[in-house]
């Protein structure tokens, strides 16, 4: 273990042991949490020279998740629980966890053990080498179904084309972030939060390590196809205005086509005289351009809706209660 790590994170106080927070959003995870703790504790205990804390965010679970977590928090001072007032969704839960975490570095970690906890020592090692972001990249998604894999690939390609930020392919939320990065994220004011995009947008000195994603240890995925579609829309609209601007060019193209068509009709009428036009071509054109216009309006609507949501300046979530930890931080 190099001393540069503790020097960097503790200033001149070399003796101070760095603290790493594991932020775990939980929505109805009572089945998997005992497994989760049993698997993580020995791994975290085996990392020399680093203290760990768990920051569980209970995202409005309706099962026994909260009592289970609260009991853990009573027994173990390294466990803190942030109980949100309802289900706000994973992105908000993660934001809550990042705001409440006190570590010198933070690792968002899913409760379902799909990401291998044995990678955590490696992440902290790279962090001590001086990297501010250590991304855990899935090299193999065979635990996801064919459809989820293919749609995910298509999304990353499209996102890369449409936006300026480089979303690291196949990287989830599982990564280590230095305190500086977490502070930067906490300072981002938007309420439409596509965390992966915000992570990438923040920048900082970044490296990655590869791993294989496992199937869920227990319980079911909380993300349906429709939820993922909306998630993808959020990802694109949060970082690109291209879908809005494209309609200017579509309009130009259509107008130019219409002028050409008008000229063609005029010429044909001069040469062949007036014929009785069919209604089919008219009907097709009306439907086509009606459809195009609605798509354009819909796209604008996606953005206007988001402007509306942002303009309300509502908090991202409400905390009902906190469990564990000695001095709870100020509510935000």
Contact positions vs Mg ion (CB under 5 A): 112, 114
- Chain positions 182 to 211 lying near ligand UDP, rule: CB under 6 A, are none
- With CB under 5 to 8 Å by kind, the binding choice for 222 among Mg ion, ligand UDP, none is ligand UDP
- With CB under 5 to 8 Å by kind, the binding choice for 90 among ligand UDP, Mg ion, none is ligand UDP
- With CB under 5 to 8 Å by kind, the binding choice for 269 among Mg ion, ligand UDP, none is none
Give me the least distance between CB of 112 and Mg ion, in Å please: 4
Whole-angstrom distance, CA of residue 325 vs CA of residue 69: 13
31 touching ligand UDP, by CB under 6 A: no
Q: Which of 65, 57, 59 is nearest to 32 (CA)?
A: 65
Give me the least distance between CB of 216 and Mg ion, in Å please: 5
Measured from the CB atom, the residue of 90 and 196 that comes closer to ligand UDP is 90
- Chain positions 98 to 117 lying near ligand UDP, rule: CB under 6 A, are 110-112, 114
Measured from the CB atom, the residue of 52 and 56 that comes closer to ligand UDP is 56
Give me the least distance between CB of 262 and ligand UDP, in Å please: 52
Question: E strand or H helix at 93, and its extent?
Answer: helix 90-100
Give me the least distance between CB of 60 and ligand UDP, in Å please: 8
Measured from the CB atom, the residue of 78 and 195 that comes closer to Mg ion is 195
Distance of CA 251 to the CA centre of its chain: 33
**What mask, x for binding ligand UDP by CB under 6 A, covers residues 208 to 237?**
-------------xxx--------------
Q: Is 141 exposed, middle or buried (0-12, 13-18, 19+ CB in 10 A)?
A: middle
- For the sheet with 51-58, list strands across it: 206-212, 133-140, 171-178, 105-108, 19-26, 51-58, 79-84, 319-323
Dig out the tokens for 182 from the structure. 């977490």
Q: Is 63 in contact with 98 (CB distance < 8 Å)?
A: no
Strand locations in the chain (E):
19-26, 51-58, 79-84, 105-108, 133-140, 171-178, 206-212, 319-323
Give me the least distance between CB of 300 and Mg ion, in Å please: 34
Q: Is 206 in contact with 178 (CB distance < 8 Å)?
A: no
Whole-angstrom distance, CA of residue 80 vs CA of residue 88: 19
**What mask, x for binding ligand UDP by CB under 6 A, covers residues 54 to 93?**
-----x---------------------------x-xx--x
- With CB under 5 to 8 Å by kind, the binding choice for 26 among Mg ion, ligand UDP, none is ligand UDP
Measured from the CB atom, the residue of 104 and 110 that comes closer to ligand UDP is 110
Whole-angstrom distance, CA of residue 149 vs CA of residue 154: 9
């Amino acid at each position: 273990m190099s001393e540069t790590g503790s020097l960097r994170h503790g200033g001149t106080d070399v003796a101070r042991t760095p603290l790493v927070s594991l932020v775990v959003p939980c929505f109805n995870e009572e089945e998997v949490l005992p497994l989760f703790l049993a698997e993580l504790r020995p791994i975290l205990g085996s990392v020399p020279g680093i203290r760990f804390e768990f920051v569980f965010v209970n995202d409005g679970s309706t099962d026994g998740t909260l009592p289970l977590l609260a009991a853990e928090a009573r027994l173990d001072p390294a466990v803190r629980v942030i109980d949100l007032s309802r289900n706000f969704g994973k992105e908000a839960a993660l934001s809550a966890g990042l705001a409440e975490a006190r570590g010198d570095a933070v690792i968002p970690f899913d409760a379902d053990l799909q990401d291998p906890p044995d990678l955590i020592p490696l992440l902290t090692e790279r962090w001590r080498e001086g990297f501010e972001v250590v991304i855990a990249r899935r090299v193999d998604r065979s635990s996801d179904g064919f459809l989820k894999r293919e749609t995910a690939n298509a999304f990353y390609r499209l996102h890369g084309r449409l936006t300026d930020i480089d979303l690291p392919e196949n990287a989830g939320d599982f990564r280590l972030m230095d305190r500086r990065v977490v502070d930067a994220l906490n300072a981002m004011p938007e309420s439409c939060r596509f965390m992966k995009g915000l992570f990438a947008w923040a920048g900082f000195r970044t490296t990655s390590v590869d791993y294989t994603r496992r199937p869920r240890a227990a319980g079911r995925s909380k993300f349906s196809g429709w939820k993922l579609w909306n998630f993808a829309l959020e990802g694109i609209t949060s970082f690109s205005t291209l879908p809005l601007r494209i309609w200017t060019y579509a309009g130009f193209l259509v107008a130019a086509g219409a002028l050409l068509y008008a000229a063609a009709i005029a010429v044909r009428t001069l040469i062949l005289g007036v014929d009785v036009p069919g209604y089919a071509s008219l009907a097709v054109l009306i439907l086509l351009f009606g459809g195009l216009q609605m798509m354009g309006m819909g796209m604008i609507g996606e953005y206007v809706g988001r402007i509306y949501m942002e303009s309300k300046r509502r908090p991202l979530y409400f905390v009902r209660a906190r469990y564990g930890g000695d001095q709870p931080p100020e509510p935000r």
